[in-house]
Amino acid sequence: MIGIDTNVLIRYIVQDDPEQSKKAVQFIEENCGKNVPGFINSIVLCEIVWVLKRAYGYNKELIIMILKQILITTELEVENSDCALLALRDYEKGHADFTDYFIAEINRERGCDSTVTFDQKTSDCRQFKIL
C-alpha cells in the first residue's frame, strides 16, 4: 500500500494543472486497486475538505459528493473510515465543518464521552460540549 498526499488527490479531483493532474491520474489508475488500495490518512481527508472549500470555493454539496466517492471507492483505503462516514452524515445535516464532526467521531471511538470546544457551530452535535 502507498499513502497518497493531499496535493496528489487535489490534482486528481480538480484537474487544474495539466502536468500534475496527468501524473496524479496515471499514478492512481496504475497503482491503486481493489487488492492494493492507495491509503488516505485522516489528516489528508481533512485537508482535502479545507482545500476544496477555501482554495477552490467548492460548495458543501459538491464536497459531500467528493467525500462520499473517496469513502466508497475500493481503490482507496481511508483511515478511520467508519468515523469519517459518521462525520459525513453529521456534516450533511449540521452547521460545523466536516473536520469538527470527524474529530468528535474519532474521539467517541477512542472512548471520549464528549469533546469540548468553543466553536458555537458544533452546538447541533450531541458529541460536543460548548465551553
Q: Over pLDDT 70: what percentage of the chain?
A: 100
Report the half-sphere exposure of 129 (CA within 13 A, side-chain side).
8
Confidence (pLDDT) at 44: 98
pLDDT band for position 125 (50/70/90)?
A: confident
- Across the chain, mean pLDDT equals 96
Confidence (pLDDT) at 128: 94
Residue 121 to residues 25, 91, 118, Cα–Cα distance (Å)? 36, 11, 9
**Mean pLDDT in residue range 114-130:** 92
The residue whose grid cell reads 489528508 is 44
Amino acid 116 reads V
Q: Per-residue pLDDT tens for 17-59?
A: 999 999 999 999 999 999 999 999 999 999 999 999 999 999 9
Res 124 pLDDT > 90: no
Confidence (pLDDT) at 121: 93
Cβ within 8 Å of residue 59, ≥6 positions away: none
**Residue 7 and residue 112: Cα distance in Å, rounded?**
32
Confidence (pLDDT) at 126: 87
The residue whose grid cell reads 472549500 is 53
Domain ranges in the chain are 1-79, 80-131
**Mean pLDDT in residue range 55-77:** 97
Amino acid 58 reads Y
Confidence (pLDDT) at 3: 98
**Mean pLDDT in residue range 59-82:** 97
Cβ atoms of residues 43 and 82 within 8 Å: no
In the structure grid, which three cell numbers stand for residue 25, read together? 491520474
In the structure grid, which three cell numbers stand for residue 66, read together? 467528493
